[in-house]
Structure 1
Amino acid sequence: MMSIRAVARSVPRTLTRLSSTALRQSRAARPSSQLLKSSWTPFRTSQFTSAFSTTPFRQSANSAVDEELSVKLESELQFEGELKESEQVPASVKDFLENSPFELKDTSGKEDVFLTRTYENEKITVSFSISDLANYEPDEYNEDSALGDEELDTPEGKQLAEAEAEEGVEDGEEREPGVPCRLNIVVEKPNKGALNIEAVAQDGQILVENFYYFKDAKMAHGETPEAVHAAEDTYPGPPFGSLDEDLQILMERYLEDRGVTQAMAVFVPDYMDLKEQREYNTWLKDVKTFVDA
């Protein structure tokens, strides 16, 4: 089952982040009493004070803001920690990592994730990025939704929207499509170049969009500006959907034999969700460390 976070990302921008992120917003929707009592007003009136008192006054105000920001960051970290304790790693992720022939390469602080394996004399690389989550723009939500934008801006509205999303899943109602996760698949053979397949993992399926061939494997990876330029000048082949249906089926089976299967289509979105959450926690810690320094 998709996590609350994943479900939240499948609804419009006004409803996104109903998972951990939306819950963060619901807790942060009301300004704290400390924030209301902060020194914003003296900041605005400081321009009327003498030049001699401006510098130390601003330093003092900045210190107060720094402290409030640090406290808020710590609150977010604690809240994320509570969410992490209540969540479990999806079975799809465990099963894939334990049973798949692919080796996972996930570098902390980087958006891209790589899956690599060898198949006979071939080297296969599948990459995807958590940037797809941040850039995802879902279709316009139901116009007859009972909740308006103003209601959604309140903590009660967010909680109600989250409850409705969970209820819809439990009742088996039709759900919005999941986040489309782009896959870049490269199949290399020594001294024979490479196939570069662009596909999308969504709702448990792998949908092939383009099927390229490059005589130089470097062009498939695009590691240098020269390689990218050379790839752009290469004939890309016809759109995959315009090929003969039997040819499309055989090409899809070709990928399945190499491990690009339904299991991967389920794994990728779930793993992206986990990685995005880890990176967000790391980001919170790094920002807090910087503010506190």
Structure 2
Amino acid sequence: MISIRYAVRTAPRSLFRSSASSSLRPLSCVSKPCFLQSSWTPVQRQSHPAFSTSISKREPAGEFDQELSAKLENELSLEKETRDSKQLPPGVQEFLDNSSFELKDIPGNEEVILTKKFGDETVKVKFSIADMNYEQDGDQEDGENALEDEDLFDDTTPQRGGAQSKGTVNQGRTPDGNINVAPEDSVAPADRPELADSEDAGAGEQAQSPAYPAAVHVTISKPGKGAVQIVTSAQDGLIIIENVYYYPKAEIAEAETPESDFARANIYAGPPFQNLDPELQSMLERYLDERGINEQLASFVPDYVDHKEQREYVQWLENMKRFVDA
């Protein structure tokens, strides 16, 4: 009896287990329609190398590159034909040969330094070609202003009756009312013979030395005693003193750092040189003269500035042309 009951009770469970086991088959055993199988197929990606060995294409040169290069070449030829930028002028070479100053001129830099020893002192002279460019810009502006002034007073009203013949020399007026002009009156003042000699003399004086002032900074330092810096200008063969500074530490006068600039700005600069006692001015001038800050240096500085500016300009043209052609 028990066996029959057991068989009846256990029969549904075995049937349930068999049906459950058949329903829990893995998905891989279940057949899938064709359209589902194709949609789940992974797409194969094409692999590419991480780098390429093909030559990259360069952009074409600018439209005016060749014209600019030709212009630079033309300027170079003119500058080299006018003057040899590598050869020192005779006056400059003579000063360097006879002076105890040592020259430090780094190509590409605007500043030039002269140094020498005077006892236990170190004398350093600094000047720059930037002063020459500044003066040329100022002269150009003055010339443009002068041309504008001439245009304001230019009489554009044409003369009636035309030019007169040489036979009618200051003989009253023409029938149209114009005054007869003598031949000598029709010559421009700048073209008259009596002014030619004075113009030639003036041109000779201008050709001797540049007229622009060149700023010259002189620093005289002693070990452990600070330094004196004298701001001067070299012009027309003279050293003109403008200001005299004293610094308790030499590095303050010579260092080019923001801290040194701030320290120099806060130090008492002293009165302007022209406000000093005339005798004191004369003694300071002799003080510089003993250390080689004299008329020879005043003539050397503008000449060397002119030479260096020419040399740097030629080098600048070469660098620009090389860059444009690259």
The amino acid of 1:123's aligned partner reads: T
Deviation at 1:141, TM superposition (A): 5.6
> Which whole-Å deviations, capped at 9, do the CAs of 1:23-42 have from their partners, x for residues lacking one?
xxxxxxxxxxxxxxxxxxxx
The answer for the alignment partner of 2:232 in structure 1 is: 199
Q: Which deviates more from structure 2 when the two are superposed, residues 88-97 or residues 258-267? A: 88-97
User: Any conservation in 1 of the 2:246–2:269 contact (CA below 8 Å)?
Assistant: yes
Match of 2:120 in 1: 121
- Indicate the structure whose relative CO is greater, using CA pairs within 8 Å and at least 6 residues apart: 1
Structure 2 CA distance for aligned equivalents of residues 224 and 86 of structure 1: 33
Task: Please state if 1:264 is matched with 2:297.
Answer: yes
Unaligned runs of 5+ in 2: 1-58, 152-189, 191-195
**Equivalent residue for 2:312?**
279
| % same residue | 44
Q: Which amino acid aligns with 2:250?
A: A
Whole-angstrom distance in 2 between the partners of 1:116 and 1:168 = 41
Deviation of 1:260 after TM superposition, in Å, equals 0.3
Tell me the distance in 2 between the aligned counterparts of 1:215 and 1:113.
25
5+ residue gaps, structure 1, are: 1-58, 150-159, 161-165
Q: 1:200 to 1:169 in 2, by over 3 A?
A: farther
Instruction: Please name the residue that 1:100 is paired with.
Output: 99
Distance 1:85 1:226, change over 3 A: closer
Q: Distance in 2 between matches of 1:127 and 1:169?
A: 35
Tell me how far 1:74 sits from its aligned partner.
1.0
Asked whether the equivalents of residues 92 and 263 of structure 1 are also in contact (C-alpha less than 8 Å), the reply is: no
Q: TM-score, normalising length from structure 2? A: 0.61
CA distance in 2, matches of 1:168, 1:141: 22
SS of 1:134's equivalent? helix
Say what the alpha-carbon RMSD is for the aligned residues: 3.1
The equivalent residue for 1:289 is 322
1:89 is displaced (CA, Å) by 4.0
Offset at residue 63 of structure 1 (A) = 3.6
| Structure 2 CA distance for aligned equivalents of residues 106 and 258 of structure 1 | 21
Please state how far the C-alpha of 1:170 moved relative to its aligned partner: 3.3
Q: What whole-Å deviation, never above 9, does each CA across 1:250-289 have from its counterpart, x for those lacking one?
A: 0010000000010000000000000000000110011111
**What amino acid maps onto 1:210 in structure 2?**
N
Q: 1:208 aligns with which of 229, 241, 252?
A: 241
Q: Please give the alpha-carbon distance, in whole angstroms, between the structure 2 residues aligned to 1:206 and 1:268.
A: 10
3-state secondary structure, aligned to 1:171 = helix
- Give the deviation of 1:69 after TM superposition: 0.8
What count of residue pairs does the alignment treat as equivalent?
Answer: 219
Distance 2:251 2:79 in 1: 40
Give the partner amino acid of 1:113. Answer: V
- 2:292 is matched by which residue type in structure 1? G
Change (3 A) 1:167 1:180: farther
Give the residue type in structure 1 aligned to 2:281: Q
Please state how far the C-alpha of 1:128 moved relative to its aligned partner. 0.3
Q: Is the 8 A contact 2:85 2:311 kept in 1?
A: no
1:122, CA displacement in angstroms?
A: 0.4
Structure 1 counterpart of 2:266, which letter?
D
Q: Is the 8 A contact 2:232 2:242 kept in 1?
A: yes
Counterpart residue number, 1:247: 280
Q: Tell me what 1:65 maps to.
A: 64
Q: Which residue of 2 aligns with 1:133?
A: 132
Kindly report which structure 2 residues correspond to 1:90-239, keeping only aligned pairs within 5 A, or say none. Answer: 90-136=89-135, 137-138=138-139, 140=142, 170-172=200-202, 178-239=211-272
Residues 148 and 291 (structure 1), Cα distance of their counterparts in 2 relative to 1, 3 Å cut = farther
Distance 1:71 1:200 in 2: 40
Cα pair distance change 1:226/1:85, threshold 3 Å: closer
Cα deviation for residue 142 of structure 1 reads 11
Using a 3 Å threshold, how does the CA distance of structure 1 residues 76 and 227 change in structure 2: closer, same or farther?
Answer: same
SS at match of 2:284: helix
Distance of 1:276 and 1:99 partners within structure 2:
23
- Contact in 1 for aligned 2:210/2:303 (Cα 8 Å): no
For residues 123 and 91 of structure 1, the distance between their equivalents in structure 2, rounded to whole angstroms, comes to: 28
Distance of aligned partners of 1:167 and 1:68 in 2 relative to their CA distance in 1, 3 Å threshold: farther
Distance change (3 Å), C-alpha of 1:171 and 1:249: same
Instruction: For 1:126, give the aligned amino acid.
Output: V
- Residue identity in the other structure for 1:254: Y
Question: Is the 8 Å Cα contact of residues 113 and 125 (structure 2) preserved in structure 1?
Answer: yes
Alpha-carbon spacing, 1:142–1:69, altered in 2? closer, same or farther (3 Å): closer
Q: 2:181 aligns to what?
A: none
